[in-house]
Amino acid sequence: MKITEQIKEPILHEMELFEKKFQDSMSSKVALLNRITHYIVNRKGKQMRPMFVFLTAKMVSGGEVNDRTYRGASVIELIHTATLVHDDVVDDSNKRRGFFSVNALWKNKIAVLVGDYLLSKGLLLSIDNNDFDLLKIISVAVREMSEGELLQIEKARKLDITEDIYYEIIRQKTATLIAACCSLGACSVLPEDKEVVEKMRNFGELIGMAFQIKDDLFDYTDDAIGKPTGIDIKEQKMTLPLIHTLNNCTSKEKSWIINSIKNHNKDKKRVKEVIAFVKNNGGLTYAEQKMLQFQQEALLLIEDFPTSIYKDSLTLMVNYVIERKI
């Protein structure tokens, strides 16, 4: 059995029902919109985020989920999908999960409007059902994701990102949505227990940090994950292995790296040289250690919950995040 199937097993029924509810939550009176959302739904990814929602809800409540949990998972997936559609426009990307992106098939204008539509659908799903506590969690996540993207753009121009700024960027950009999944799952079943909700938010944030560092490491390997080796260097994105290397080399080497990234990022040979330099100077080893540190901190947070198949699945999920090949 594949590891993702193993993780999903305790929530198989919930995930099947969720898919139906999620499709319903996207429906519109506009035929064009339905065609596009149908296209999106049929090319879904691993659905990690709804899995986090259901596993967290069941772990903290002893196996319970309710309508709020399903709505929360749908909102998260709607928002996540909206951000992906918008990301492809921003990055001018024609592919998503091996298929054509929405903007490649229907052009940017429609893609932006579809992203806006999905975002509003998500927010309305919470409002229409008076899930204001869940809405707050989601809205904070959306605000932080936007801030994180803009902070990255602002800092990437100078290529002078410190490790602390890098953590702040990935916390907002990536970790905040996984944190929202986990706090939302807990809040849907235990709305009064602020301590557990906050603990699960923290848990999700730590996993999100490890997840992003793993993504950074893919840039230095030849494994295919849907993004080619060296793509972050070509796009002048600052990754943890690179930041660590820049902060621990001579000023001459630093100038060479920055010059390579700024002025020679299309030169395949030069990009390969930068990758080799980062590898040889301990950049990858350092990033791997940091990733494992975040993973261990996350696992410590759920240690006190009673043993259950849901807790086992969450633990498996945390390990999968850092051991995955894609």
Question: Would 313 be classed as within a structural domain?
Answer: no
Which residues have a Cβ under 8 Å from the Cβ of 94 and sit 6 or more positions away? 88, 100, 101, 103, 104
Domain contains 111:
yes
- Residues 170 and 185: their CA atoms lie apart, in Å, by 22
Cα separation, 96 vs 104, whole angstroms: 10
Instruction: Let me know if residue 257 belongs to a domain.
Output: yes
Measured in whole angstroms, the distance separating CA 233 from the mean position of its chain's CA atoms is 20
Residue 25 lies in a domain: yes
**Which structural domain range is residue 50 located in?**
3-306
Query: Could you give the number of structural domains in the chain?
Result: 1
Mean pLDDT by 10 residues, the chain (326 residues): 84 90 84 85 78 95 93 91 84 72 85 90 92 93 91 78 91 94 96 95 96 86 55 73 90 89 82 89 93 94 94 92 74
What's residue 50's pLDDT?
Answer: 92
Give the pLDDT score at 161.
Answer: 82
Amino acid at 251: S
- CA 307 – CA 171 distance, rounded (Å): 29
pLDDT score recorded for residue 231: 65
The pLDDT score that the predictor gives to residue 85 is 84
DSSP codes, 121-138: HHHHHHHHTT-HHHHHHH
Provide the CATH number for the domain around residue 103: 1.10.600.10
The pLDDT value recorded for residue 230 is 61
Do 37 and 28 meet the contact criterion of CB atoms below 8 Å apart? yes
Tokens of 130: 């008076």
144 CB neighbour count, 10 Å cutoff: 19
Contact criterion met (CB below 8 Å) for 197 and 182: no
